[in-house]
Amino acid sequence: MNKIRCLINLSRTFLILLIFMFFICGCVNYKYLYGVKSYGDGYVVSRNNTVIAEYTIGIDNKAPQDLDLAKERFQRRRGKVEYYYREMDIFYRPLSSFLSYPRAIFGAFCGVFKLPFIIVSDYRYEHNPKYRKIIDDRDAAEIKKERDKRESLEDEFSAFIKRDLNIEEELNVKSNK
């Protein structure tokens, strides 16, 4: 009897946690805005009240004057734009922020065991020029790697927008024939 009650409480707790996780993951709302000066007074899309021009921009970074064209571009580009924005850490992942809280608590608990190593490393960094150079070189390499990754993602992203505009132009030429 006691095991059954324990299983019921465990399943109830799991269900409550699942519902809580569903609500904390959040929703994203999109709006079509007209008349944003920096994009040629056309239609752009905002995501959670932040204008994301890449959803709808065309040639010369101008937004379309036609709402139907803006909707078509948005539907076509939305997945890729959000992928690139997430990879460049512009958009956050709501689920990862939900899961980072327990990781932070676990990290704080393990930090007690890592503290002596951190103190020794800090002491060596302050008093040993060779060690300082090693750590500075490692940090510089890490920063360079992150910068290179972001630049390559930005290049891929702009190439994607150009390819999308070329495809759109080809579709317009075919539909006009």
The pLDDT tens digits for 35-47 are: 777 777 889 898 8
At which residue do the structure tokens 């379309």 appear?
Answer: 64
How is 125-152 classified by DSSP, letter by letter?
A: HHH-HHHHHHHHHHHHHHHHHHHHHHHH
The pLDDT of residue 1: 61
Q: Copy the structure tokens of residue 157.
A: 């992203």
pTM, whole model, 2 decimals?
Answer: 0.68
- Give, for 50, the enclosing helix (H) or strand (E): strand 50-52
Distance CA(160)–CA(78), nearest Å, equals: 12
Mean pLDDT of 79-97: 80
Q: What is the mean pLDDT of the chain?
A: 84
Confidence band for 131, pLDDT divided at 50, 70 and 90? very high
Phi, psi angles (nearest 5°) of residue 161: -60, -45
Phi, psi angles (nearest 5°) of residue 30: -115, 145
Is 95 a residue whose pLDDT tops 70?
A: no
Most confident by average pLDDT, 16-25, 29-38, 56-65, 142-151: 142-151
